[in-house]
Amino acid sequence: MTTTPRNPAPHRPRAAWYAAGTLLAAAAGAGAGHLVAALVSPSASPVLAVGSTVIDATPTPVKEWAVSTFGTADKPILVGSVTIVTLLLAGAIGLLARDRRSLGLTLVGALALLAAAAAGLRPTSQPVDLLPGVVTAVVGVLAAQWFLGVLDRAGAAAADPAAGAGPDRTAHGDGTSGRRTVLAAAAGLGAVAAAGGGLGQAFSRTSVAADVVLPAPSVTLEPLPQGLEEMVRGVSSFRTPNDAFYRIDTALVIPRVDPDSWQLTIDGDVDNPFTLSYQELLDLPMIEKDVTLTCVSNEVGGPYVGGARWLGVPVRTLLERAGVRDGVDQIFSRSTDGMTISTPLQALMDDRDALVAVGMNGEPLPAAHGFPARLVTPGLYGFISATKWLTQLTATTYAKDTAYWTERDWATEAPIYTESRIDTPRPLSRQPAGETFIGGVAWAQQRGIAGVEVRVDGGTWMPAELGPDAGIDYWRQWFLRWDATPGRHTLEARATDEDGNTQTEDRQSPFPRGATGWHSVIVTIE
Ligand SMILES: Nc1nc2c(c(=O)[nH]1)N[C@H]1C(S)=C(S)[C@@H](COP(=O)(O)O)O[C@H]1N2
Ligand SMILES: [Mo]
C-alpha cells in the first residue's frame, strides 16, 4: 500500500465527470441494445422491456390515473421516466466507481442485465430477446471502463505534468488538453447512444403490410352517407380516418407481424381445432360492418371512441367450423404481444357479427390497429372484445382461464353504455353571440341511438337533430342550433337509446366497467 498523500489527487477530475461518464456509457450501451433489438425483436429493447414490465406490474388505480392524466402520452412519459431513472442510477454508480472501480463496473453490468431479465420474463419472450440486454451490458461495461480510464489518465496527467505526453501539457499542467480528451470521449459515447437509438427507431418503423391486397367482401355495404362534419364545424367526422383513430394497448412498440409466418389457431374445448395462415383467412368469405369501438377507459367526453368500416370473417363461422362444445362460456384470445382477452361466447356467436377483421376503412389493418388480424365485437368495450395482433381463439370457461384485465380486477361483462359527447363548442372556448351550432356524437352499440337532447344552463332539454344512420353498432352525429347570448354558459347533452334508456346522470369512473354521466361543457359568449 502506498502512503496517502496529504491532498489526494488534487487534479483528479471532479466526481461529476465520473457520474456523467457512467451515465453516458449506460446510454451508449442502451443505444447499442436498442439497435440490436430493432433487428431481432423490437420489444426486447432494454428501456422498452423494463417499461412493459412496469406497465404490467402497475396497480390498476395508478394505471387509470396515468391514462386519465397523460392520455395517449402515457407511453412516451413512461419510457421517458424509465430512461431518466436508469440514467440517474448509472450516474450514481459512476460516483461510486470513482473509488471502487470493479464494484462500479459490476453494477453497470447488473443494471443492464436487469433489462435482459425483463425482456426474458415477458409472456411471449424467446431466447433471442435476451440478446439486446446482453449487448447493452457488454457495451455499457466496456464503455464505462474505457471512459473512467480516460478520466483517470487525465487526472494523472494534470497532477503530474512530467507524465504528460506533450510539451504544452507540461507547460500548463492545468489539464486543459486532458479536459479536451475527456470531452471528446464523452462526445463519442453520446454519439454511440444517439446513433444506436436513432437507427433502431428507423429500422423498427418499417411497414409490414406494404404488399397486402384485401379480398372483396361477399356482402358489400353501401358507402357511408355524407356526415354532418361539413355543415357543423368541429363535430367528429362520421368515419374516423385510420391515422386519427384512437389507439389503446399495452404495447410499447407496435408489434410488426410478418403476414407470411402469422397463423390463427382456433382450439380449446372444440371438436375440430384448426389453424389458418393469413392467405387462408383472406380466402374465407368476408363481410363488411360499420362499428364504433369504445375504450372502457374513456372518461365522459373523452377521446377513446371511433367509427370505422371493418372487413373480416364472422367469428361465428370460425367457431362453428371448430365445433364449440357445451359448457364453454368464453373465448380466450391471445395476441403476438402476449395480451390475453376474455370475450363472452354469446357475443361472438349471436347475430351481431363479431369479426376477425383484416381491413379497416378499405385498407389492411394498420400495424397500430392490429395487423394482420384483430377481433371487432360490436357492443362491448375494447378490453374484452377487440384483441389486436390476434393469434389464437381458445374455447374455454371463465372458471378455467383468466385474462390480463380480469387479473387486474376489471369486469368480465362490460356492454358499452349509452353515451353522448359534445364536440363543439370546445370546452372553455370563446364564441361570438348569435346563432351557434352545438354538436357532437352519441353511441349505444347494439341498441342504436333514438335521440339526443341538449340543455343550456340547466334549462329545459331540447331535442337535437341526428345525422345519418349507419346501423345500431355505429355512432350518430347530432347538432342543435343555439342562439347564443353573451355570458358564461353550461351546455349538457344526454342520449336515449332505441331501448328507451336515457343516458344516466350518475357519475361513474371508468374502472371497472366504463364511465357514466352527462358531458358538460362551459363556454363564454362575447
Ligand atoms: N393485443 C392487444 N389488443 C388490444 C389491447 C391491448 O392492450 N393489446 N387493448 C384493447 C383495448 S383496451 C381497446 S379499447 C382496443 C383499442 O383498439 P384500437 O387501438 O385499435 O383503437 O384494443 C384492444 N385490443
Ligand atoms: Mo380499452
pLDDT digit string, tens, across residues 279-292: 999 999 999 999 99
Whether residue 402 sits in one domain with residue 424: no
What is the structure's pLDDT at 161?
57
Same domain, 139 and 247: no
Gap from CA of 361 to ligand 2 centroid (Å): 20
Mutational test site, ligand 1, from 246, 248, 296, max ligand atoms within 8 Å of CB: 248
Question: Residue 505 contacts by C-beta under 8 Å, 6 or more apart in sequence?
Answer: 494, 517, 518
Q: What is the pLDDT of residue 209?
A: 61
Q: 484: part of which helix (H) or strand (E)?
A: strand 476-484
What value does the mean pLDDT take over residues 162-189?
66
The pLDDT, as a whole number, for residue 220 is: 85
Specify if 338 maps to a domain.
yes
| Per-residue CA distances from 3 to 6, 8, 97, 152, 156 (Å) | 9, 10, 21, 19, 17
Domain-ending residue, one of 407, 429, 460:
407
For atom 24 of ligand 1, the residue with the nearest CA is 387
Report how far residue 329's alpha carbon sits from residue 396's, in angstroms, rounded to the nearest whole number. 6
Average pLDDT (104-112) is 93
Instruction: Please report whether residue 3 resides in a domain.
Output: no
Cell of 9: 489527487
Task: Using most ligand atoms within 8 A of CB, pick from 253, 381, 383 the residue to mutate for ligand 1.
Answer: 383
Distance in angstroms (rounded) separating the CA atoms of residues 157 and 147? 15
Nearest to 480 by CA among 438, 451, 452, 514: 438
Query: Which one-letter DSSP state was computed for residue 413?
Result: -
Based on the domain organization, do 401 and 441 belong to the same domain?
Answer: no
Judgement on whether residues 260 and 147 belong to the same structural domain of the protein: no
Looking up residue 323, the CATH number of its domain turns out to be: 3.90.420.10
Answer whether residue 84 shows pLDDT above 60.
Answer: yes
- Residue 388: CB within 6 Å of ligand 1? yes
Does residue 353 surpass a pLDDT of 60?
yes
When the pLDDT of each residue in the chain is averaged and rounded to a whole number, the result is: 91
Number of domains in the chain: 3
410 Cβ below 6 A of ligand 1: no
Looking at the fold, whether 447 and 369 belong to one and the same domain comes out as no
Atom of ligand 1 nearest to the CA of 339: 1
pLDDT of residue 40: 84
Query: pLDDT band at residue 7, thresholds of 50, 70 and 90?
Result: very low
Does the pLDDT value for residue 69 go beyond 80?
yes
Q: Which atom of ligand 1 is nearest to the CA of 338?
A: 1
Domain that holds residue 283: 242-407
Q: Tell me, using a 6 A CB cutoff, whether residue 175 lines ligand 1.
A: no
pLDDT tier at 89 (50, 70, 90 boundaries)?
A: very high
Spacing, Cα 465 to ligand 1 middle (Å): 32
Q: Are 320 and 355 contained in the same domain? A: yes
Please say if the pLDDT value at position 168 is more than 70: no
Percent above pLDDT 90 for the chain? 74
Q: Does the beta carbon of 246 sit less than 6 angstroms from any atom of ligand 1? A: yes
40 shares its domain with 187: yes
In this prediction the pTM is 0.82
Q: How confident is the model at residue 207 (pLDDT cuts 50, 70, 90)?
A: low
In a domain, 412, yes or no: no
- Does the residue 225 lie in any domain? no
Say whether the peptide bond before residue 364 is cis (omega within 30 degrees of 0).
no
Specify whether the CB–CB gap between 468 and 227 falls below 8 A. yes
Ligand 1: residue whose CA is nearest its atom 4: 387
Q: Indicate if 293 and 187 belong to the same structural domain.
A: no
126 with 259, same domain: the answer is no
Q: Are strands 374-376 and 355-360 parallel, antiparallel or unpaired?
A: antiparallel
> 125 falls in which pLDDT band (50, 70, 90)?
confident
pLDDT greater than 90 at residue 164: no
| Residue 33 or 163, more confident | 33
On whether both 423 and 400 belong to a single domain, the answer is no
Question: Residue 79 above 90 pLDDT?
Answer: no
Decide if 276 is inside a domain. Answer: yes
pLDDT digits (tens, 9 = 90+) for 16-29: 999 999 999 999 99
Does residue 187 sit within a domain?
yes
For the chain, what percent of residues have pLDDT higher than 70?
A: 94
Arithmetic mean of pLDDT, 472-483: 98
Residues 350, 445 share a domain = no
Ranked by mean pLDDT, the top range of 57-61, 98-102, 257-261, 341-345 is 341-345
Regarding the beta carbon of 387 and ligand 1, being less than 6 Å apart is answered yes
Q: What is the CATH number of the domain that holds 517?
A: 2.60.40.650
CB atoms within 10 A of CB 450: 18
Q: Domain for residue 210, yes or no?
A: no
Confidence bin at 42 (pLDDT 50/70/90): confident
Distance from Cα 308 to the centre of ligand 2, integer Å: 16
| Stretch among 62-76, 84-98, 219-233 having the lowest mean pLDDT | 62-76
Asked if residue 6 is part of any domain, the answer here is no
Q: Identify whether residues 400 and 424 lie together within a single domain.
A: no
Q: Per-residue pLDDT averaged across 85-106, rounded? A: 92
Phi, psi at residue 307, to the nearest 5°? -115, 135
Q: To test the ligand 1 pocket, which listed residue (56, 249, 297, 365) has its Cβ within 8 A of the most ligand atoms?
A: 249
Res. 201 pLDDT band, cuts 50 70 90: confident
Which pLDDT score, from 0 to 100, does residue 162 have? 54
Residue that terminates a domain, selected from 177, 204, 231 = 204
* Whether the Cβ atoms of residue 462 and residue 454 lie closer than 8 Å to each other: yes
pLDDT for residue 128 is more than 90: no
pLDDT of residue 208: 62
CB 305 within 8 A of CB 475: yes
Given 358, 378, 407, the domain boundary residue is 407
Binning pLDDT at 50, 70 and 90, where does residue 165 land? very low
Please tell me the distance between residue 293's alpha carbon and the centre of ligand 2 in angstroms. 9
Tell me which of 84 and 414 has the higher pLDDT.
Answer: 414
Nearest CA to ligand 1 atom 13: 382
Query: Does ligand 1 have an atom closer than 6 angstroms to the CB of 308?
Result: no
CA 211 to ligand 2 centroid distance, Å: 30
Q: What's residue 210's pLDDT? A: 60
Of 459 and 72, the one with more pLDDT: 459
Give the residue-averaged pLDDT of 322-351: 97
